[in-house]
């Protein structure tokens, strides 16, 4: 007891293990999940500013172009991020996008149901499938990789089957007419701040179209709802993960499910809810896309599951779960969007995008491994 | 004598045709460290899992403060004040000390209709409780992975104590630790005992047990070989009882000392 007293009374410096190196504030600031993606964002912007400055990439239209693409990546990345931190994968995201889109178009156009009902049904079915994914993973104890890979094929096949059986086509058009004046469709398809952009254009801050049937309108006429959804989901995901009890349970479930269970964390519920949230994000993506294009196609969303996972990994999450950041995943999505569109602006062969993806994925994983070792003290 | 915090009488546990426990009786008094000794396969793990509500006994009775109780789940036992610290499953290395400390019982702060973790309180209490156990954290948000094995055990113990455990079951807390870290954990056990908490210390290391134990119960092949008080028994005797025979005594002779 006396030993403990003197220990407690002595200044903390003496109690420290002399073999533990002091960690500099700089290194501490660096060892965080977002490090890789922050570096990546800076690098990518500097790079494209140097090679594509004159191409219109940084004009209002150009900015809108890559913002929308990045926002698409971000929407699915938020879901994939929280699920990966909870220790699971979902490879069925891409197929889910195609599936939800076809459900919406089929119900609203082919069966002439109200658009709001079609959207709600699509969300309900998608989240039901997300629940089933989670339930099967929990119940069978199989890796989510296998279970959701099965659903990648099941859903894609069902999507094409449904479209063919009901319409004989794999593309269902006419959604824009069906969505006309629908309150729920506006939340996914419209634009906000249109007045503000008109004002900017009137004051000469952004250009107006000079010819064509949109002459006089600003070249950028508002912020697409897709971008609003992306920002909303990023903020929601970030606060949920870092500030709430449920967020702590997400970390715990992915970090060590058994230890979390011993501490009273409802691991199964957390994981199943995250599968459902991933499905929700995929359906948001699908709905926005269907509203924007005015049609649904059975092949939409191919490879999106991997793009989501790559964004999340660039954002610093560990593939093994228990560690990661929603902000990082969002920055990963931004890198994605900027590079994909930037190569187009710079006039570079677009197939190089895939090469870039592979390289940056490797670099990100190597960096993440280093960060994990720094945190856990492994060698 | 006072009533025991917990008393297990003639506990039997059968797994199919295997009799894992065949009439084990153990009691734990407030402020006591009761060591449960036994070789691998003696039934130590089965016994503490029965105490922790993970397994339900095939036969036998459990009393807490003189009242008979039945634990259907681990949750029941936790609510009754029985906390278990498992050797390698105590902590999640990638999460911060605070997040680990409060895992499953996060303190909340209301902000309108929303509830967030009260990190001010969580960090403050974590630092205080760790200080009390003699561990000085650099900061409460450092990852548990940066702590040594002994410190991790101590975080888990401090957590159980803070959340009002009456009985603390420690499953081989020292088996994977070095000499220095072992001493730290044993010192922590001593502090916990002085708070009036009953400690059940599982080990197969007689010297670790003798360092902090008040009473010693030896399990062998699912049976109790008797309980001895501190000072009534020697290390060699305990060792022989654990091994259950004379062979080890001969082996020790050729090795030159207590194993």
Question: In the predicted model, what is the mean pLDDT of chain A?
Answer: 87
Is the pLDDT higher at B149 or at B250? B149
Share of chain A above pLDDT 90, in %: 52
Tell which of A25, A259, A372 to mutate to test the B interface (max B CBs under 10 Å).
A259
**Token pair in block for residue B70:** 């039945």
Q: Could you give the 3-state DSSP secondary structure of residue B26?
A: strand
Do the domain assignments include residue A62? no
Q: How far is CA B94 from CA A253, A257, A369, A373, B120, in A?
A: 12, 13, 12, 10, 21
> Is residue A6's pLDDT more than 60?
no
Q: What pLDDT is attached to residue A8? A: 41
Radius of gyration of chain A (CA): 23
Do the domain assignments include residue A203? yes
> What is the domain count for chain A?
1
Is the pLDDT higher at A76 or at A176? A76
End-to-end CA distance of chain B: 35
Q: What pLDDT is attached to residue B89? A: 66
Asked whether the ipTM of the predicted complex exceeds the cut of 0.85, the reply is no
Between A86-100, B44-58, B233-247, the lowest mean confidence (pLDDT) is in B233-247
Nearest to B89 among A7, A239, A256 (CB): A256
The string of pLDDT tens digits covering residues A264-318 is: 889 999 999 999 999 999 999 999 999 989 999 999 999 999 999 999 998 989 9
Between A29-38, A81-90, B98-107, the lowest mean confidence (pLDDT) is in A29-38
pTM above 0.90, yes or no: no
Do the domain assignments include residue A15? no
Tell which of A85, A255, A373 to mutate to test the B interface (max B CBs under 10 Å).
A255
Q: What pLDDT is attached to residue A170? A: 87
In B118-222, where do the E strands start and end?
167-171, 198-203, 215-220
Q: What pLDDT is attached to residue B123? A: 93
The whole domain housing A198 covers: 34-52+71-376
pLDDT bracket for residue B234 (50, 70, 90): confident
Q: Where in chain B is the domain with CATH 3.40.50.300?
A: 6-91+165-255
Show which residues on chain B lie within 8 Å of chain A, measured between beta carbons.
74-75, 78, 84, 86, 89-95, 99, 102-106, 108, 115-117, 131-132, 134, 136, 138, 143, 145-146, 187, 190-191, 194
The string of pLDDT tens digits covering residues A309-367 is: 999 998 989 988 999 999 999 999 999 899 888 888 888 887 888 888 888 888 888 88
Residue B96 DSSP one-character state = B
Do the domain assignments include residue A19? no
State which residue of chain B sits closest to A33, comparing Cα positions: B94
Q: What pLDDT is attached to residue A26? A: 64
Q: What pLDDT is attached to residue B253? A: 65
Choices 3.40.50.150, 3.40.50.410, 3.40.50.300, 3.40.47.10: CATH for B6-91+165-255: 3.40.50.300
For chains A and B, what is the number of CB pairs under 8 angstroms? Answer: 92
Contact B89 A262 (CB under 8 A): yes
Nearest to A244 among B86, B92, B116 (CB): B116
The string of pLDDT tens digits covering residues B11-52 is: 888 888 888 888 888 899 999 999 988 887 788 888 888 888
> Which of B127, B144, B51 shows the shortest CA–CA distance to B91?
B144
> Is residue A13's pLDDT more than 80?
no
Question: In the predicted model, what is the mean pLDDT of chain B?
Answer: 84
> Is residue A5's pLDDT more than 70?
no
Partners of B99 on chain A (C-beta within 8 Å) are 248, 251-252
Burial class (CB in 10 A: 0-12, 13-18, 19+), A358: exposed
Burial class (CB in 10 A: 0-12, 13-18, 19+), A113: middle
The string of pLDDT tens digits covering residues A214-260 is: 777 787 888 899 999 999 999 999 999 999 999 999 999 999 998 88
DSSP annotation string for A300-311:
TTTTHHHHHHHH
Q: What pLDDT is attached to residue B229? A: 84
Q: Token match 């996914």: residue? A: A188
Contact A378 B115 (CB under 8 A): no
Is the pLDDT higher at A156 or at B180? A156
State which residue of chain B sits closest to A8, comparing Cα positions: B134
State which residue of chain B sits closest to A13, comparing Cα positions: B136
Nearest to B134 among A4, A23, A260 (CB): A4
Show which residues on chain A lie within 8 Å of chain B, measured between beta carbons.
1, 3-4, 7-8, 12, 15-16, 23, 239, 243-245, 247-249, 251-252, 255-256, 258-260, 262-265, 318, 322-323, 372, 375-378
Residue B56 phi, psi dihedral angles, 5° rounding: -100, 135
């Amino acid at each position: 007891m006396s030993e403990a007293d003197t220990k407690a009374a002595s200044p903390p410096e003496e109690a420290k293990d002399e073999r533990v190196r002091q960690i500099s504030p700089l290194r501490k600031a660096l060892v965080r999940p977002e490090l890789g993606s922050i570096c990546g964002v800076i690098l990518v912007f500097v790079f494209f500013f140097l090679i594509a400055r004159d191409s219109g990439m940084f004009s209002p239209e150009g900015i809108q172009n890559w913002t929308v693409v990045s926002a698409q990546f971000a929407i699915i990345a938020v879901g994939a991020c929280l699920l990966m931190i909870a220790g699971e994968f979902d490879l069925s995201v891409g197929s889910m996008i195609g599936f939800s889109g076809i459900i919406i178009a089929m119900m609203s156009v082919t069966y002439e149901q109200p658009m709001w009902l079609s959207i709600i049904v699509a969300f309900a079915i998608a989240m039901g499938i997300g629940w089933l994914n989670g339930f099967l993973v929990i119940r069978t104890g199989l890796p989510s990789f296998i279970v959701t890979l099965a659903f990648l094929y099941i859903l894609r096949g069902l999507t094409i089957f449904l479209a063919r059986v009901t319409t004989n086509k794999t593309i269902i058009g006419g959604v824009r007419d069906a969505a006309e004046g629908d309150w729920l469709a506006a939340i996914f398809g419209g634009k906000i701040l249109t007045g503000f952009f008109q004002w900017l254009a009137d004051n000469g801050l952004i250009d107006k179209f000079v010819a064509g049937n949109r002459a006089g309108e600003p070249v950028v006429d508002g912020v697409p709802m897709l971008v609003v959804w992306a920002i909303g989901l990023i903020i929601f995901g970030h606060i949920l993960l870092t500030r709430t009890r449920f967020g702590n349970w997400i970390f715990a479930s992915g970090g060590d499910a058994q230890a979390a269970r011993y501490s009273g964390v409802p691991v199964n519920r957390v994981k199943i809810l995250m599968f459902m949230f991933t499905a929700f994000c995929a359906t948001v993506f699908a709905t926005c896309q269907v509203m924007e294009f005015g049609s649904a196609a059975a092949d939409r969303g191919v490879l999106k599951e991997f793009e989501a996972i790559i964004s999340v990994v660039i954002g610093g999450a560990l593939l093994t779960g228990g560690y990661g950041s929603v902000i990082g995943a969002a920055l990963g999505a931004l890198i994605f969007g900027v590079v994909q569109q930037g190569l187009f602006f710079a006039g570079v062969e677009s197939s190089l995008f895939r090469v870039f993806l592979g390289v940056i994925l490797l670099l990100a994983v190597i960096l993440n491994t280093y960060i994990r070792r720094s945190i856990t003290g492994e060698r | 004598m006072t009533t025991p915090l917990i008393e297990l009488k003639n506990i039997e546990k059968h797994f199919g045709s295997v009799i894992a426990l065949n009439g084990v009786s153990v009691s734990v008094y407030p402020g006591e460290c009761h060591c449960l000794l036994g070789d691998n396969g003696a039934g130590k793990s089965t016994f503490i899992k029965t105490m922790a509500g993970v397994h339900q006994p095939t036969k036998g009775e459990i009393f807490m403060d003189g009242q008979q109780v039945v634990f259907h789940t681990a949750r029941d036992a936790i609510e009754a004040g029985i906390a278990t610290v498992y050797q390698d499953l105590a902590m999640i290395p990638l999460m911060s000390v605070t997040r680990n400390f409060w895992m499953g019982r996060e303190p909340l702060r209301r902000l309108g209709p929303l509830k967030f973790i009260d990190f001010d309180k969580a960090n403050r209490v974590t630092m205080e409780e760790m200080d009390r156990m003699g561990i000085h954290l650099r900061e409460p948000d450092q990852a548990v992975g940066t702590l040594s094995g002994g410190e991790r055990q101590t975080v888990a113990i401090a957590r159980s104590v803070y959340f009002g455990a009456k009985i603390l079951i420690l499953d081989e807390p020292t088996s994977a630790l070095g000499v220095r870290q072992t001493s730290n954990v044993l010192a922590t056990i001593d502090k916990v005992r002085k708070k009036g908490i009953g400690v059940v210390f599982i080990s197969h290391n007689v010297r670790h047990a003798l360092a902090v134990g008040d009473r010693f119960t030896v399990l062998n092949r699912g049976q109790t070989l008797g309980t001895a008080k501190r000072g009534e028994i020697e290390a060699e005797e305990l060792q022989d009882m654990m091994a259950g025979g004379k062979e080890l005594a001969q082996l020790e002779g050729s090795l030159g000392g207590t194993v």
